[in-house]
Amino acid sequence: MAHAEFKATAVNARAPYAHKHGRVSDSRRRLSVVLVLTAIYMVAEAVGGWWTGSLALLADAGHMLTDVTALALALIAAWFGTRPATSKKTFGYHRLEILAALVNGVALVVISLLIFYEAYQRWSSPPAVRGSIVMFVAAGGLIINLICAWILHTPHEVDLNIRGAWLHVISDTLGSVGAITAGAIMSLY
C-alpha cells in the first residue's frame, strides 16, 4: 500500500511538468524564429550602416548582435532547462535561464557603453551620412522588431527567458525609432 501510494505521489508530483514540455517547445520555437529574423536583419543593418556611414545603423546592428547572442543563450538555456534533474543537479538546469537573462542584461550595458564611445569619437569629426537610406533601413528594422515583439509577447508568460528576450526586442524597437529620427534629421540638413 505504501509503495503504491508513493508511486501515485511521485506521478502527481511530476504532473505540473507534463504540460510544461509543450510550453517549452513553443518558447524554443518562438525564440528560434526571432533569432533567425534578428540575425538576417542584423546583417542588413550592418551593411546599410557601412554603406551610408551611419553610426545609428551600425550601433543598431551592434545592438542586434547582442540580441542574436542573447537569443542563442536563451535557446541553449531553454534546451538545458528541459533536461531532467540528476543526483548532482537536484534542481536540473532551470537556473541556466536566470544566468542567460543576466548575460542578456550585461550585454545591453556593454553595447550601450560602446555606442556612447563611438558617438563621442564622431562628435569631433562627423562623417557625411545618407539620411534617406538610413530611414529606409531603420524602418525595416522597426518592422522586424515589431514582428519579433509580437511573436515573443504573451500576456501570461512566466518564462523568464521569453520575458527577457521580449524586453530586449522592445529596447531594439526604440533604437530603430531613434535611427529613423536620426535619418530624418540628416535628410533635412
Spell out the per-residue pLDDT of the chain, length 189, in tens: 444 444 444 444 444 444 455 556 787 888 899 999 999 999 998 998 888 888 778 887 887 887 888 788 878 877 877 777 777 776 667 677 777 778 777 877 887 888 788 788 878 877 777 778 888 888 998 999 999 999 988 766 667 777 878 887 888 888 788 888 888 888 887
The vertex-78 CA angle with 75 and 80, nearest 5°, equals 110
**CATH number of the domain encompassing residue 75:** 1.20.1510.10
Residue 30 within any structural domain of the chain = yes
8 domain-assigned = no
By residue range, what is the domain housing residue 169? 26-188
Cell, residue 53? 556611414
In total, how many domains does the chain have? Answer: 1
| 44, part of any domain | yes
Residue 78 lies in a domain: yes
Residue 2 lies in a domain: no
